[in-house]
Amino acid sequence: MSVPLDRFERLARSSNAELEPHRPIPHNLAENLNQEEPHPFETRNIHPDLPRKVRALFDDGHGEQSVFEAFKFIEKEVKRISRLQNKTGYALMMEAFNENNAKIKLTDLATESEIDEQRGYKSIFAGAATGIRNPRGHEIDIGDTPDEALDYLALASLLLRRLDAAGVR
């Protein structure tokens, strides 16, 4: 019974930078993964609905491709939910989350605060498509470190969880 508690303690300690010094994640995680330690996707609570290839690419040291696939998945989800099949990227996000005629409502849009939240998430979704997904689809080599890739994947997870919380997925 001490094994689950030991694992919980490692997870708790790794989530608090003051308790444990930062250790960079190895470039090729598949070769260096210690079965005793939780996978970085667990410690970062990466959304389980992301396609399996996102984790496989990350484990094989292809962080930027992993990030690209995660944000492609988000775009496909937004297209599916909004039914805006003729739009992509920035234009898709701006129309899908438009607070004046939202295809995807993240809030009730009844108060100024709810409208502001919708507008803010519209910008985050659009910014992720433009600033994260697009460069990884068009550039030859971005060079994301494993830690940077995990940061981007955490953002992708946040966006998926926001769709979940709104009850649209």
- The pLDDT assigned to 19 comes to 45
Residue pair 125/78 in contact by the 8 Å Cβ criterion: yes
Does the residue 3 lie in any domain? no
- The pLDDT assigned to 18 comes to 46
Distance separating alpha carbons of residues 89 and 96, to the nearest angstrom: 11
Q: Residue 47 belongs to what domain range?
A: 41-165
The pLDDT tens digits for 111-127 are 999 999 999 999 999 99
Distance separating alpha carbons of residues 142 and 75, to the nearest angstrom: 20
Distance separating alpha carbons of residues 116 and 88, to the nearest angstrom: 23
Residue 26, by phi and psi: left (phi above 0), alpha (psi -120 to 50) or beta?
beta
Q: How far apart are the first and last CA of the chain?
A: 37
Residue 16: DSSP 8-state:
-
Residue pair 50/66 in contact by the 8 Å Cβ criterion: no
- The pLDDT assigned to 55 comes to 97
Does the residue 8 lie in any domain? no
Residue indicated by tokens 């709104």: 166
Does the residue 58 lie in any domain? yes
Q: How many domains does the chain have?
A: 1
- The pLDDT assigned to 141 comes to 78
Report residues of the chain scoring pLDDT below 70. Answer: 1-35
Does the residue 134 lie in any domain? yes
Does the residue 161 lie in any domain? yes
Does the residue 72 lie in any domain? yes
- The pLDDT assigned to 20 comes to 47
Does the residue 153 lie in any domain? yes
Distance separating alpha carbons of residues 162 and 121, to the nearest angstrom: 9
Does the residue 26 lie in any domain? no
Provide the whole-model pTM.
0.78
117 burial type by CB count under 10 A (0-12 exposed, 13-18 middle, 19+ buried):
middle
